[in-house]
Amino acid sequence: MKKLIPLIQLLILVIVFIYGCTPPADKFLKSGVEKAGKGDYNGAIQDYTEAIKADTFMAEAYNNRGNAKYKLGNIKGAVKDYNKAIDRNPNNTGAYFNRGIAWNELGNPDMAIYDYTKAIGLEPGNAKAFYNRGNCKSNLKDFKGAIEDYNNAIELAPDYADAYYNRGLAKCNLGDFKVAVGDFDKAISINPTFFEAYSNRAAAKFSLGDFPGAILDYNKTLELNPGYTVAYMNRGVARSKVNDFAGAVQDFAKAIEQNPKDGRAYNNRGFARHETGDLKGACADWNQAVKLGYASASGNISKYCK
């Protein structure tokens, strides 16, 4: 028995040595995560690459390196890394989800939908995967399918303002403006500074003939984001509908100030000026609209500018 003691002691020392050290791959992975958290994506990529060299089966390192490449705008490189992460771990929900984002960025919504569907299959409670898949379906004009996905996202995350907002947009695209207003209401109640929700609620109200309501929502939109040119344009149109042509002229002028090359804004201001009796100003605006490529203004020139 005495001869066995040194061997047992040696074995204990070896076990302590092995379990007392962090494998190199894990060290590089941790370092990469820290660098990525600080915005040093190039440094993170270097560390993830070292982690992969130390452990070629480390799916997390491939996934994280893909994320770092995505952040640097190397979307195709990111997809390749997500592919490898999935090859090494077919149940890697994050890799499917991230690859879905990358595919959509590359203009492949069908591939993105496939990946989000895989992610949902692995993690049915993933509200973001339902939401992103809904966005892809909307891009493909499958608004009914998109609404189903937004419904699921909202069921899983009842305070998901973006999901209410995008469901509202999908309903608008189906012509269901009244119900869409309800979705924009909910998005605004969750996020009172959601200026796009105010703007699109205004557009839905406009489509329903509620021009005063639309104007109020555009007012709020511009209060939250004074640089939102489209809101000036649309409020100008809404003001024209309630015969506030002087107010419309001001809105179109503001839109022109923010985007001097918008021929439609000149055309619309021309119409509003004409209605206020400023024919000279109207003709000047219509001529400028034509110069900027807005050919429709030429009809007004022929009719009114003799």
In the predicted model, is pLDDT for residue 56 greater than 50? yes
In the predicted model, is pLDDT for residue 10 greater than 70? no
In the predicted model, is pLDDT for residue 3 greater than 70? no
Return the pLDDT at 8: 43
CATH of the domain at 249: 1.25.40.10
Q: How confident is the model at residue 20 (pLDDT cuts 50, 70, 90)?
A: very low
Inside any domain, residue 137: no
Q: How many CA within 13 A on the CB side of residue 101?
A: 19
Inside any domain, residue 247: yes
Inside any domain, residue 221: no
Average pLDDT over residues 275-303: 96
Amino acid at 53: K
- Return mean pLDDT, the chain: 93
Q: Could you give the 3-state DSSP secondary structure of residue 238? A: helix
Q: How many CA within 13 A on the CB side of residue 191?
A: 19
Q: How confident is the model at residue 58 (pLDDT cuts 50, 70, 90)?
A: very high
In the predicted model, is pLDDT for residue 269 greater than 90? yes
- Contact (Cβ atoms closer than 8 angstroms) between residue 241 and residue 211: yes
DSSP code of residue 225:
-
Main-chain phi, psi angles of 22, to 5 degrees: -85, 130
Inside any domain, residue 243: yes
Average pLDDT over residues 117-143: 98
Q: Which domain holds residue 262?
A: 227-306
Length of the chain in terms of residues written = 306
Return the pLDDT at 83: 98
Amino acid at 9: Q
Rounded to an integer, what is the distance from CA 12 to the centroid of its chain?
A: 56
pLDDT tens per residue across span 67-114: 999 999 999 999 999 999 999 999 999 999 999 999 999 999 999 999
Count the domains in the chain: 1
Amino acid at 11: L
In the predicted model, is pLDDT for residue 2 greater than 90? no
Inside any domain, residue 250: yes
Inside any domain, residue 48: no
pTM, full prediction: 0.88
Average pLDDT over residues 202-222: 98
| C-alpha closest to that of 146 among 159, 162, 157, 158 | 162
Rounded to whole angstroms, how far apart are CA atoms 173 and 42? 42
Return the pLDDT at 23: 74
In the predicted model, is pLDDT for residue 11 greater than 80? no
- Contact (Cβ atoms closer than 8 angstroms) between residue 47 and residue 29: yes
Proportion of the chain above pLDDT 70, given as a percent: 93
Q: What tokens does 259 get?
A: 């985007």
Q: How confident is the model at residue 13 (pLDDT cuts 50, 70, 90)?
A: very low
Inside any domain, residue 306: yes
| C-alpha closest to that of 282 among 272, 290, 296 | 272
Inside any domain, residue 43: no
Return the pLDDT at 306: 78
